Amino acid sequence: MTDEARAAVGDYKVGWHDPENATIRFDFGLSEQVVRDISALKNEPEWMTEIRVKAFHHFEKRPMPTWGNMHLLEEIDFDKVCYYLRSSDATEKNWEDVPEDIRNTFDRLGIPEAEQKWLSGVTAQYESEAVYHSIREDLEEQGVIFLDMDSGLREYEGIVKEYFGSVVPYSDNKFSALNTAVWSGGSFIYVPSGVHVEMPVQAYFRINAKNMGQFERTLIIADEGSSIHYVEGCTAPTYSTDSLHSAVVELIALPGAHIRYSTVQNWSNNVYNLVTKRGIAHDNATIEWVDGNIGSKLTMKYPAVILKGEGAHAEVISVAYSGEGQHQDAGAKIHHLASNTTSKILSKSISKDGGRGSYRGMVTVSPKAENCKVNVVCDALLLDEESRSDTYPTMEVGNSGARCEHEASVSKVSDDQLFYLMSRGHTEEEALALIVNGFFEPFTRELPMEYAVELNQLMALEMEGSIG
Amino acid sequence: MNVAYSENSDTDRAAHIWRYTPWKKAHPTGKISQIPTAEPPVISLSMSDGSEVPAGIRVEEATKDDLARLGHDLDFGDGTAAPTFIAEIAPQIHVLRVDAKTTAKSPVILSVKTTGSTCACRLLIDICERVEIELITVLEGDAEWFGFLREGAFGQASIVNDVVVHVTGNRLLRCDSICSNRDAQIRAGTVNAASSQAKVDVRHWLPEPGASLQVNGSILASRKDHLDSHVEILHSGKQTFSRLEWHTAASGESVTTGTGMLRIDAGAKGGDAGQLFHNLLLSDKAKANSIPELEVMESEVVGCGHGTANGPLDEYQMFYLNARGFDEEQARAALIAAFLNAPLSNMGSESLHGWLINRIESHLSGL
């Protein structure tokens, strides 16, 4: 099993890097001029430039968080980050038109093959810009808009202006301010009323250059009674210096709509992954975050849902793997603002080789939200003596009719389970990998099959050398 | 020697410990740089059944040696401002001394009666090895603000049921820093019956092997009460055990907060820890907050978990009682009493339980 996994995924199989062939590369460091230059380069409307500049000033004023892994956060040197790098002159609709070196990268990641087999549309982002973009014709005919964010702003300025920053304002936190100031790329999706996008759409984010900052911005609007499943994947080369990924994702599920947003984040262990993801669910709408965090040096990510409309529902299913030198500080936030809203959070983490996994969550029920139901479950596995697991859940309940439950447990792999599997012919390492895959199963079963297989292979590889 | 208040008075609002009750609100004047003059409380010992207090149990003024031996450094991390402040303003330091192998057949009542407007007390706990007692500490009196700090240790192999009852009617700031030594079996209870504003920060340390700790809380909040409790249990010894069960019933416009931290240090093999917060919301304007936290740095644990549950009175239980002749009010009162009684009945013997019920019964009607 492990040999097969090795053959399939190699040793962080996505850790290679290509030579940098930048057509435009900004100097390191951030200033108002850099922000204005990014906006000018993209020929943006003035209102967007103004939002960027305001966000930049807010970013400068706002202190770093005084919670979480402050030690690692303090190591970020914002003056040693490249805030904009373009490697291709245009976003292409045919893979053949994408520059060869970039196309090879995505070939190696299996994106074109996946597109043909099981996707409704694909965006591939390389450094700061989308280099490839396509959507199935039948969906386009039904009015589904799936563009990279820059094109979305150009072609649908009215919609973008209405919703941009309405869910995650730049003043929300230091990193949302940074993203708003220097955002580039990401996805813009609009699903018309009543349209169900049956197959997932996918965005793939790749950082190639050293000390790169990737700040994509994603906005998904699902109109009344529509549904969509968006899948994103992330990888980067392994360098000795750090890169920064700070995205903002805004979801708007209008009455009766259903948005599922799945992520398998497999950044290399030199990437800071500091992401703000939030959705607003209107009446009877559903938002689901399915979130897998395997890579990165430090992840701070708490997908959130504001249940604004009566009968709305939110689900967050997340798994995190923390290996040597990694801290996965992930969780979920759900705000119940309306009556008869329900939410469910399932978080699972595994820590190994001194890694640290933290669940940090918040659930609030407002006084006017009658008859709400909340269920939060966190499970953690510690695989060795150097590792660490933390749980920091917060519940604020302001309505006497709400039923809120939270439970968490931390344990090690059971000797009985190991013994059972080994008595049936598995080696100890194989048995451990099977147990770990079983532990993550509630997450993997929610993923498209290809992603689930990839995740299981990755976990098998990560479990190598766990015994003895 | 404890750390100084002046170096810790500027607290971080982002810290969970100050999230719902900022230090400014818990401070007697609201001006955190002020060190007001405080009166000492009147402290007395008695037995719950009226008998003589056993010879091995006494309260005395603490000596320098007592402070050196029993005093803690009061480093509560983000929460250090509170215990160091009480230590600074308390006019006297007392010590509750229980000699080795002392036993008491009925619960010992330690009455701490506040005096003046601002009152503060620093009490060292010196419970020696193999003691078997039940101790009820009653915080009572009419001071506008009362600061109560307890530090010390439960001795090796001691068996102690230690309950603190808040019946002061006004504002209370209470900090505990207590070690349970090797093989000690401790049940630590907190009952809040009357404080209108309480900020409680209880820290239990389990540094030696075999210690067992059960922490129970039964909290009544009504009117506009603001009750904020933080319980921290730190396992650093091997084969240590702890359970926390905290029940809060909130009515009126009260706001209650229960935050907890279970920490299993690296090396605390065989640790077994669990915490549960239950909140019963009895009115539309009551609010309950909970943050049960876990930090586990040792993989060889028996288990470590936590849970929290918030909800209204169970409709099916109400229906059951209604069907058996209880009217709405009676059924409600019975269910609230049962909810609060669950941790109370775990705090100690039947006589301790009976004493507690008698003492807080009148306050239940306020819910």
| Domain membership flag for residue B4 | no
**B15, B303, B309 ranked by CB distance to A404: nearest:** B309
Query: Domain count of chain B?
Result: 1
Residue (of A49, A48, A42, A46) closest to A24 by Cα position = A42
What are the chain B neighbours of A395 within 8 Å (beta carbons)?
Answer: 288-291, 308, 310
Model pLDDT, residue A464 = 64
Model pLDDT, residue A239 = 67
Q: Which structure tokens are listed for A431?
A: 């048995």
Burial class for A98, CB neighbours closer than 10 Å (0-12, 13-18, 19+)? buried
**Strand residue runs (E) in chain B:** 42-47, 57-61, 93-98, 108-114, 118-127, 132-141, 145-154, 159-166, 171-180, 185-192, 197-206, 212-221, 226-235, 241-250, 255-264, 272-281, 287-296, 303-311
Model pLDDT, residue B4 = 87
Model pLDDT, residue A466 = 53
> Residue B60 belongs to what domain range?
16-364
Mean per-residue pLDDT of chain A: 87
Residue (of A333, A321, A324, A323) closest to A365 by Cα position = A333
**B266, B289, B293 ranked by CB distance to A391: nearest:** B293
If one compares B194 and B282, the residue with the highest pLDDT of the two is: B282
The CA distance from A388 to the nearest CA of chain B, in Å, is: 4
B287 with A398: Cβ contact below 8 A: yes
Q: How far is CA B283 from CA A367, A400, B366, in A?
A: 10, 6, 13
SS3 category, A158:
helix
| Domain membership flag for residue B60 | yes
| Count of C-beta atoms within a 10 Å radius of residue A415 | 8
| Domain membership flag for residue B309 | yes
Residue (of A379, A446, A443) closest to A409 by Cα position = A379
The CA distance from B314 to the nearest CA of chain A, in Å, is: 10
Say how many CB pairs under 8 Å bridge A and B. Answer: 115
Where is mean pLDDT largest: A189-193, A438-442, B308-312?
A: A189-193
Comparing A26-40, A92-106, A212-226, the range with the smallest average pLDDT is: A92-106
What pairs with residue A253 in β-bridges? A222, A281
d(CA A249, CA A147): 15
Model pLDDT, residue A18 = 66
The single-letter code of the amino acid at A93 is K
What pairs with residue B257 in β-bridges? B228, B289
CA torsion sign, A55 to A57 to A58 to A59?
Answer: positive
SS (H, E, C) B80-97: CHHHHHHHHHCCCEEEEE
B144, pLDDT greater than 90: yes
Q: Which structure tokens are listed for A247?
A: 């995205």
Question: Residue A234 — pLDDT band, cuts 50, 70, 90?
Answer: confident
Model pLDDT, residue A2 = 39
**A383, A395, A401 ranked by CB distance to B308: nearest:** A395
pLDDT digits (tens, 9 = 90+) for A44-65: 999 999 999 999 999 999 999 9
B63, pLDDT greater than 70: yes
Residue (of A281, A272, A273) closest to A250 by Cα position = A281
Model pLDDT, residue A6 = 43
CA angle, residues A22, A293, A280, in degrees to nearest 5: 90
| Count of C-beta atoms within a 10 Å radius of residue A80 | 14
**Average confidence (pLDDT) over B58-62:** 95
Note whether B59 and B93 are within 8 A (CB).
no
**B301, B306, B310 ranked by CB distance to A397: nearest:** B310
Residue A159 CB contacts under 8 Å (≥ 6 apart), including other chains: A152, A190, A221
What are the chain A neighbours of B287 within 8 Å (beta carbons)?
Answer: 367, 396-398
What are the chain B neighbours of A367 within 8 Å (beta carbons)?
Answer: 284-285, 287
d(CA B315, CA B331): 11
Note whether A61 and A75 are within 8 A (CB).
no
Comparing A262-271, A311-320, B83-92, the range with the smallest average pLDDT is: A262-271
Q: Model-level pTM?
A: 0.86
What are the chain B neighbours of A396 within 8 Å (beta carbons)?
Answer: 287-289
The single-letter code of the amino acid at A231 is V
Question: Residue B12 — pLDDT band, cuts 50, 70, 90?
Answer: confident
| Domain membership flag for residue B116 | yes
The CA distance from A368 to the nearest CA of chain B, in Å, is: 9
Torsion of CA B196, B175, B137, B188, to 10 degrees: 110
Residue (of A322, A428, A296) closest to A380 by Cα position = A322
Note whether A229 and A200 are within 8 A (CB).
yes
SS3 category, A234:
strand
d(CA B300, CA B271): 8
Torsion of CA A445, A447, A452, A456, to 10 degrees: -70
pLDDT digits (tens, 9 = 90+) for A112-146: 777 666 677 777 777 777 777 777 778 888 899 99
Model pLDDT, residue A4 = 47
